[in-house]
A and B are shown apart, each in its own frame.
Chain A
Amino acid sequence: MQVYILLTIVSSILYGIGLVIQKKGIEKISGLKLLKNFSIKNMKKLIRELLNKKLLTGVIIGGIGTLFYWKAISIGELSILQPLTNINIIVVWIFGWVYLKERIRSREWIGLLLIFVGAVVLSVSAW
């Protein structure tokens, strides 16, 4: 296996885990409600909320994944590597189900599977 493919796979796993943790962190943010009632106090509150542990952890893990990806993309073809990153969909499904306890309806799985198949087809076509 080429080094850049291995780097991309590791990067995808880290990126997928990072995204799911970010989702957990986002749940603690009041977001638009704070922007709607714009004031210095609310902006400070928003910044404080954005610096919560879970969101930062997710960003750092995702960031490490991105560094791996940058290394991979500098030595491989974009059309191979970018579609290959789609394996993080599986990571997100598993981690989202276990960590976030999200449940997907059977009909929604069809749409999700179509997206996954499309991503896999793009990866295979590049090889």
Chain B
Amino acid sequence: MDWTSFNIRRCCGTECECMVKYELILAIIAGILFGIAAILTKLALVPTQEFSIFSLQDWKLFIFSWPFVGLAIFGILSVVFLWWGFSRGRAIITISIFIGFSALVSVTGGVLLFGESLSVIKAFGIITITLGVIFLQKI
């Protein structure tokens, strides 16, 4: 195990191959964290009614609400994992998975926390994104 490059490699003689695609794992973790941050953003914006980026009062309500602390923590962690993923692989793959998983988590959060409906089409979307990530992992 090479912790410097964070890769598990299988070696046979002088030939080595990477067994786990860490760009995928790091992008999935980043996506989940970002999805949670998106849910917390919605919760933090609730007291502002219609948030105005030029209103000091709205910024105060936003920053001094309890979800903002979680939003900051999950947001920063998601960036760390995303950048880590960038250093391990291609941006097109990493960002696509990151975006896909953040959508999964936010839709699930919308259904569970805000009482939004989970239709068959939404479930199909969730399954398709998951299949896409599984497909990338299997290649």
Contact = CB atoms under 8 A, between A and B. Distances in A.
Interface of A: 16, 19-20, 22-23, 26-27, 29, 31-33, 36, 67, 70-71, 73-75, 77-79, 82-83, 85-86, 88-89, 92-93, 96-97, 100, 102, 104-105, 107-108, 110-122, 124-126
A94 B3 CA distance: 33
B92 A114 contact: no
A24 to B, nearest CB: 8
A115 B127 contact: no
B70 to A, nearest CB: 15
A82 B139 contact: no
Contact of B86 (A23, A111, A113, A124): A23
A106 to B, nearest CB: 10
B4 A32 contact: yes
Given A86-B103, A89-B95, A121-B121, 13 more contacts: A22-B83, A36-B3, A74-B45, A82-B102, A82-B107, A82-B110, A102-B90, A104-B93, A114-B135, A117-B128, A117-B132, A122-B126, A124-B121
Interface in B89-109: 90-97, 99-100, 102-103, 106-107, 109
17 contacts: A19-B82, A73-B42, A75-B50, A78-B38, A79-B116, A89-B100, A107-B139, A112-B92, A112-B93, A113-B132, A114-B129, A114-B132, A116-B96, A118-B103, A118-B129, A119-B99, A119-B129
B110 to A, nearest CB: 4
B95 A19 contact: yes
B51 interface: yes
Interface residues of B, number: 56
A86 B100 contact: yes
Interface of B: 3-6, 35, 38-39, 41-42, 45, 48-53, 82-84, 86-87, 90-97, 99-100, 102-103, 106-107, 109-111, 114, 116, 119, 121-122, 124-133, 135-136, 139
B92 A26 contact: no
Which of B96, B103, B139: most chain A Cβ within 10 A?
A: B96
A126 B124 CA distance: 13
B121 A125 contact: yes
Contacts of B95: 16, 19-20, 23, 88-89, 92, 96
Contact of B136 (A36, A75, A112, A119): A112
Contacts of B90: 96, 100, 102, 104
